[in-house]
Structure 1
Amino acid sequence: MKNYNNKKQAIIGLQHRGYDLDFVFKDENLLCLQELELIGPDEFEIEETYKFEENHNIAQTFVVYAIKSVQRDLKGILLTSYSAFTKGLGFRLWCKLSQTL
């Protein structure tokens, strides 16, 4: 795992290493925006995690995940605020993501 000073460097570094798709939360799943494919918590691996706190404020803390599908050749990035963990994530997805923090 690399060391990055901020979320922008982490995203660019991951993109250079093939994590070129974008993931967002969709109910109990991740949605790959480019492929419009839902991936459940058991269908992806978190290969790397980076946490960045801006201005020493927990409300401005972000997490960058390097995501890889176990069934398809999909590799990408999930960028989320730390506060997203308290806003309606499904339990299985929350468990999967919080394991690496």
Structure 2
Amino acid sequence: MQTYDTLVEALDDLNRKGFTLDFNLAGDSLICRSKDLQLSPEQFHIVDVYRFEGVSDPDDNSILYAIESKDGQKGTLVNAYGAYADELSDEMVEKLKID
């Protein structure tokens, strides 16, 4: 797995590798507004996960997911963790769990 120093560096490299869609969490699914696309947890898999921790500000903690849908559409999801993490369905929490 590739390692990155910053979230921006990771997003730029993943974009060059074809992960061009911008996914957002919507409780029980992922959505991509630019393509009017909605994916339930069984419709995608996580290719890679990268964790970034803010050195000077703990509020800057985030996780970057490289995601591919069952039909081959690729994109990224950036999610905060800790106190400001989004509320998710149990199924989505299980899908995004990092060991």
TM score, norm. by length of structure 2: 0.89
Distance 1:53 1:90 in 2: 24
Q: Which residue of 2 aligns with 1:3?
A: 3
In the TM superposition, 1:1-101 aligns within 5 A as 1-55=1-55, 57-70=57-70, 72-83=71-82, 84-85=84-85, 87-98=86-97, 100-101=98-99
CA RMSD in angstroms, aligned pairs only: 1.5
Counting aligned pairs with the same residue, the percent is: 28
Distance 2:30 2:93 in 1: 11
1:77: how far off? 0.5
Structure 2: gaps (5+ residues):
none
Moved more, 55-64 or 41-50: 55-64
Distance 1:11 1:33 in 2: 18
SS in 1 for 2:18: coil
TM score, norm. by length of structure 1: 0.88
Which amino acid is 2:20 matched to? D
Distance 1:28 1:54 in 2: 28
- The count of residues paired between Structure 1 and Structure 2 equals 98
Task: Give runs of ≥4 in structure 1 deviating > 3 Å.
Answer: none
Which amino acid is 1:7 matched to? L
Structure 1: gaps (5+ residues):
none
